[in-house]
Amino acid sequence: QVQLMESGGGSVQAGGSLRLSCGVSGYTHENYCMAWFRQAPGAEREGVAALWTGGGAKYYGRSVEGRFAVSRDSAKHTLYLQMNDLKPDDTAVYYCASQDYLGGCPALETPYAYEFWGQGTQVTVSS
């Protein structure tokens, strides 16, 4: 069974930075998708970034492109999300997600396509 565990959330002022981590276990091969989603109170779950382990392709949501960067340490089985120039609108619970997928990642607009989820970590950005 695939398991995901996020860490690294917290509170920061606007313009600051945070790095989230997501440890993954349970995969027996190296062709799967890892992604970050977020959900603010009263809002739908929003795709932030994704990375396909098979070839390293990366995908970003339009609201974070240029400010956030997704990366992976394959030796540590860990996915990262570096968040820079944070804005109050980035405040949300951030979730790590994963899906066994060949040739890329399910679209970030389709959170229902991701089978495995972490418990979430809170990010709060104050103005």
Sheet containing strand 3-7, edge to edge, reads 3-7, 18-25, 78-83, 68-73
Sign of CA dihedral 12, 64, 99, 24: negative
- pLDDT score recorded for residue 80: 98
CB 96 within 8 A of CB 114: no
Backbone angles phi, psi at 111, to 5 degrees: -60, -25
Pick from 7, 115, 13, 114: which is nearest to 59 by CA? 114
- pLDDT score recorded for residue 56: 87
Backbone angles phi, psi at 74, to 5 degrees: -65, -35
Helix ranges, 1-127 (H): none
- pLDDT score recorded for residue 14: 98
Alpha carbons 79 and 40: distance in angstroms, whole number: 21
- pLDDT score recorded for residue 7: 95
List 3's β-bridge partners, or say none: 25
Alpha carbons 77 and 50: distance in angstroms, whole number: 15
- pLDDT score recorded for residue 104: 87
- pLDDT score recorded for residue 18: 98
- pLDDT score recorded for residue 66: 96
| pLDDT tens digits in sequence order for the chain, 127 residues long | 999 999 999 999 999 999 999 999 999 888 899 999 999 999 999 999 999 998 889 999 999 999 999 999 999 999 999 999 999 999 999 999 999 987 889 999 999 999 999 999 999 999 9
